[in-house]
């Protein structure tokens, strides 16, 4: 989830999560995919709260810390 926030903060218009759903689909079917998507959503929401953002359009480079 945090990689999605990083990409959006850097200006991406969309983010692909690749084969993220395939293992849950194979292991538990639709319920597994729903659970995985719920976990992804929770991680994105938690990350946004930690960044102090309530909406996607508030994400910007200022939210990131570069080392």
User: Rounded CA gap, 58 and 9, in Å?
Assistant: 9
Question: Is 52 domain-assigned?
Answer: yes
DSSP states along 4-55: HHHHHHTT-S----TTTTHHHHHHHHHHHHHHHHHHHHHHHHHHHHHHT-SS
Per-residue pLDDT at 17: 87
DSSP secondary structure letter of residue 63: G
- Structural domain total, the chain: 1
Contact 40, 17 (CB under 8 A): yes
- What's the pTM? 0.86
Instruction: Give the range of the structural domain holding residue 14, as residue numbers without chain letter.
Output: 2-59
Chain segment 7-46, per-residue pLDDT in tens? 999 999 999 988 888 999 999 999 999 999 999 999 999 9
pLDDT band at 67 (very low <50, low <70, confident <90, very high): confident
Tokens of 52: 């102090």
Question: Is 24 domain-assigned?
Answer: yes
Question: Is 67 domain-assigned?
Answer: no
């Amino acid at each position: 989830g945090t990689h999605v926030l990083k990409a959006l903060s850097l200006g991406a218009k969309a983010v692909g999560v690749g084969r993220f759903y395939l293992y849950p689909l194979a292991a538990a079917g639709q319920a597994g995919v729903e659970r995985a998507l719920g976990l992804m959503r929770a991680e994105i929401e938690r990350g946004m709260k930690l960044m102090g953002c309530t909406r996607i359009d508030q994400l910007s480079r200022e939210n990131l810390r570069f080392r």
